[in-house]
Each structure stands twice: as C-alpha cells, then as structure tokens.
Amino acid sequence: MMPPPVEERRFVSFDGTEIAYQAVGQGRPILLCNGLGGAWEAWSHQIQYFRDRYRLLSWDYRGLYGSSLPADPNALGVADHARDALRLLEEEGADRAAIFGWSMGVQVGLEMFRAAPERVASLAMLNGVAGRPWDYVFNLNLVGRLLPPFLRGLRSMPRTIETVIRQATRLPDPGEWAKRIGLAARTLDEQVVGELVMKFRVLDMDTFIRLLERMGEHDGWDLLPLIDVPTLIIVGSRDVFTPRSAAERMARRTRGSEIMVLPGATHYAALEYPEMVNLRLEKFLRERGYEAAQVGAG
C-alpha cells in the first residue's frame, strides 16, 4: 500500500529543539512511537485502519528527518525523546494517549510512563524490549558487549559509513532482499519498505550512530513492575533483534499484561501481518476501555 496522507506540523520542545510531527484523524489520541531510523510510514497500515476513529500522532526523533538537532549534543537519549512526545501531546491539547511503540519506540513509551504516568492511557509494545536492547539480539549477550565499542569506532568515520549506507539502500527492491536473507517474512509490504529506505538515505550517519549508542545504554526494565495501565506485548516468533524470550520476560514482569506471539513474523510484524496486528490492537483498546469515536459521528 501507499503511505496514507498525513498533516505535517512542527513545535518547539522543552529545550528549544524544533520537532516535526505528523497528525491525521479525529477522536481519542493514539501516539505512534517509531523505531530508530524508521519514519512514520512504518505505521502506514495502522494509520489507515484507525484514522477514521482515532487521532493518530507521530513525530521525527530529534536529529532525524524533519526534526532539528538539539543545541546540547548529549540531549539525544531515550528520556529526551519521551519529553518530546509529552510536549507533542501538550501541543495537541491531549491529556492522555494510548501509546503504540515499535522497537525503540517501546523504550520511549516506557520513559513517557516514568516521566508522566498520568498521560499514558495504555501501552502497546511491538517488537521491542524494555532496555539495553543489544543484550537480547540473537539471544546473545555477546552482542551487548561488542556492539558499543564497534559503534564508537564507526563514529570516527561517518563519511565512510554514509557512503556504504547510500550504496546499500540503492539496491533494487530492498524488501525483497530482506525476505531473501531471512530478515523479513514473505508477506512484508515491500512498497512501504521502499518508502522507508528512500527516506533513510538522507540521514546524517554521525547523528544516527550517536542515537544508536544512547538507545543501547537505556535501561527501563525497572519500570515494568510499576506499570498500572493496560499493556499489550506483540512479538514475532522469528524476531532476532527483540526475540520472543525477551518479550515473555517483559510480560512476566508486567502485572496484568497481555502477550501475542505472531508465528512466522520478524521484527517487522506490523508490515508483515498488518491485519492480525490491527485486529489485536483494536481488541485491546476496546476491551481496556479506550473506545473509538463512532464512524461518521459529528
């Protein structure tokens, strides 16, 4: 499918950083927290499905796409993104929102709960972990030890990395390549993936690597026993980045949480099995009291 149209807006965040955000639809707000490097288009199927009953909001993380870099180069942590999200809700006049987080967006949603639990109506966590994500890749703690120094090394040659990324993202049919090497299911929406890859080409790699470092340092596991809002965890059985074992550990630590394991899905479940994901999200919202606006209601 083609990404649906959204309204592009801007606001000034808590520290003066200018943030670009996207909005569509009417009704109770759903805040879409992106994965790192992923733009709002990753939520295309959810936007299309929910837009006639909810107000869908997303934003570009500071330093990425349409959002500015902060004046303080250290203000790129997960907690900073969470503060941007809370400022976005203020900009929209939203007291509370249902949070849908994908990948790093799960960590951002959790930090929103830490900072302002009264603003979080519910948490839906897709293909993410509560923190220190490198410790869970391939279920190997070794990655968590080796990746941080590797990323520090990459930062010393950002122009080289940009050249490599530019070449890699110019491969024809990137979605098909992801399927061939087993990183995505055969049902992956290649058109949306093409849109995401095209946008990814323009990123500043030094900023992106710094964001990767900060994401890897973040730890929100301490929050899980404190969560007292409806929580849904969705994971793919073939997700090597945020595996099922990590999702099940999160569910055990979060009282009253629900978990859905999608057979055959990878880290990109929402783009592989959107109908199943959307129906599960809708059921979760309805059963947990976050009712939709009536279609056609004035």
Domain coordinates in residue numbering, the chain: 7-287
Reduced to 3 states, what is the DSSP secondary structure of residue 212?
helix
What tokens were used for 182?
């087993």
Query: What's the confidence (pLDDT) of residue 197?
Result: 86
Reduced to 3 states, what is the DSSP secondary structure of residue 169?
coil
Reduced to 3 states, what is the DSSP secondary structure of residue 160?
helix
- What stretches in the chain show pLDDT beneath 50? 296-298
Domain 7-287 has CATH 3.40.50.300: no
Write b or e for each residue in 50-78: b if 16 or more Cβ atoms lie within 10 A of its Cβ, otherwise e: bbebbbbbbbbbbbbbebbbbeeeebbbb
Query: What's the confidence (pLDDT) of residue 143?
Result: 56
Q: What is the C-alpha to C-alpha distance for residues 29 and 201, in angstroms, rounded to an integer?
A: 30
Q: Specify the residue for token string 């990395």.
A: 161
What tokens were used for 59?
């934003």
Strand-pair category, 231-236 with 120-126: parallel
Q: What is the C-alpha to C-alpha distance for residues 23 and 25, in angstroms, rounded to an integer?
A: 7
Query: What's the confidence (pLDDT) of residue 297?
Result: 42
End-to-end CA, the chain: 29
Query: What's the confidence (pLDDT) of residue 141?
Result: 60
Beta bridge partners of residue 32, listed in sequence order: 58, 100
pLDDT tens-digit readout, 30-72: 999 999 989 999 999 999 999 999 999 999 999 999 999 999 9
Residue 95 CB-density burial (10 A; 0-12 exposed, 13-18 middle, 19+ buried) = exposed
Query: What's the confidence (pLDDT) of residue 166?
Result: 59
Q: Specify the residue for token string 């479940």.
A: 269
- Phi–psi pair at 270, nearest 5 degrees: -70, -20
